[in-house]
Structure 1
């Protein structure tokens, strides 16, 4: 079965929340992820929150074995940049994630006492799918929730 590029679509529009705050610590990242989880769980929206310290062009995922039982640790190697995070929200065919993204944006702007966020619609086509794989490729830490499986688009 052959697929055409036009046939690849997500179930709903994907929204990205850009945070213009760099040099984030892991603690700040976990606070952002928990705030995003709160708003998305409240509205029934799927979400992805990624913490990145690597430039996307040079990012490569490697597994490091520690000679212990369990899953090998994933390490992202490449050129280092200031720590930042990427956020993505997707709704269902009946419920859009746009209002949830706006509520999260307002909460972040209020927390940092300045306008540090922006909501951007990426649509449901190939651009949205490439954004998800872009985020997963450079993820040092990744958190997600909801019904949509973001890891299947890596």
Structure 2
């Protein structure tokens, strides 16, 4: 699977990237899907952050989700749909790989920037697919972006 940074995504598709960014900044907590040791899925809540041209996942040190990502970096991050069932901005998810950051300087810079006390584990997301599903008028609209391509839009009545 080809992957990209958040900066690559924003450069390739600035309007779509802004829509996705707004969905992830609207609420603090989102859902992370990882793979357990036996291959079954695990879903966990977490905070998502976009800065320095990257999408970041920070989590408690040695948490199950961190252990899952260390073993198998494949993941999906689903934006919080919100408490009112409006799904304003649609349903947004990102699939890709979460790469653990172990460089103390990067972790320290990130911690200082966001005001997060250490210790914690930090992962950088390599985007493999970005999807938005929404309703526009009478149509279900699915927008998909993958690295190296343009946004594809599928409309269904």
The normalised TM-score by structure 1 is: 0.32
User: Looking at both structures, which has the greater relative contact order when contacts are Cα pairs under 8 Å and sequence separation is at least 6?
Assistant: 1
Give the TM-score taking structure 2 as reference length.
Answer: 0.32
Q: Which has the higher helix share?
A: 1
